[in-house]
Structure 1
Amino acid sequence: MSANLDVRALLLCLLLFWILPAAADVFTYIDANGNRVFTDQPKKGAKRVEIPPTNNLNGAPPAQKAPATAKAAKPKPMFHYQLLRILVPEPDATIRSIEGNLIVTVTSEPALQDSHVYRLLLDGQPVGDSGRSPVFPLNNIDRGTHQLSVEIVDELGRVVERTPNQPFHMQRTSLAQKRQAHPCKEGDYGVRPECPLVLKPAD
């Protein structure tokens, strides 16, 4: 009998949870016969029953999830050139310059793309101004053997092509060497820098 009463009480509780509006209060108490009673009317000694929020039955569509942000556009594949080389100086060339000046000329096939630039490297370090011009004037290069190479760089800073290192030799003639090669003549003293008057022999 007690089990039946408990089942009935439980069924009544569930029925009340379903029928009563979400805003209504539900109370429970034990009556004179020892039965548990559920009601929406507060009575002396009754305890308020906490009712969890009900499901949304008003027909409103469920909240839509925010659309996933579009993935970042993948960078376009790198463009490759059929040819990239240094025209001037030729490999292993010897450059003779008192000031250590040199003009480097490069070429590529096909022609340089709109968003690409040339970058010249001297001994592995960028030198001069990167740009679309294939001509790089260099000044005051130390005497000795150096390595030249050229790169093509795209708009994303990626090296598209690069030539192997190409050696050249810079010879900067000193005043002592010039004196040995071209001795001073009478009219050169006081005129040629390597022939100052203080070195002019006595008549």
Structure 2
Amino acid sequence: MDTNAVKKTYGIGELLGVARERAVPVVRGIADTALGAATPCAEYDVRGLVNHLFQVVEQFQRLAAKEPSDFGEAAADRVGEGPDWRERFVVEADRLVSAWSAAGAEDGVTGAMGMPARLVGSMALLDLTVHVWDLARATGQEYGEADGAVVEELTGAVAQLAPTARKMGVFGEPVAVAEGASAFERLLAGTGRDPRWV
């Protein structure tokens, strides 16, 4: 093995594509009867978390294009707009991947706080990974381990975001994990989730 090999740096669009592949089956697998179930993200039931995830994938498309976004208002009830909401989520997730794969999406800064664009893209990746894990757990679906490159990107992003995110109530306090916990379990715990939530 060549220990001098250059480590590949993945674009946010590539990583979002990987996360999207994990997200779509989970969203499609949510039964209507599960929409009122609790999730590991305590402030949301399944329906509320799906609506929040719609808001994320829509607003972060705008941020990729350096356009203004609006997270100030409560998420619209996309689930209540008709029975095809699962396939509409797939369309919006595809648009999110395309937006962050476009030339220049990761360059400069974006958003009202003028944050580095790549870090903002990592925030979209975090939601598309962790909230989908939330939904899988809440609805009895398998998720398993997230992709290693995704976890690596998010571990760095969470380390940067955590102090402010905890003050704002976006992340909970870190949860203790077993010594042999995986990198993904440690990532979940760093956002305030119990990786063994049932």
* TM-score, length-scaled by structure 2: 0.19
Q: Which has the higher contact order (CA 8 A, sep 6+)?
A: 2
Structure label with greater radius of gyration: 1
Query: Greater share of helix residues, 1 or 2?
Result: 2
* TM-score, length-scaled by structure 1: 0.19
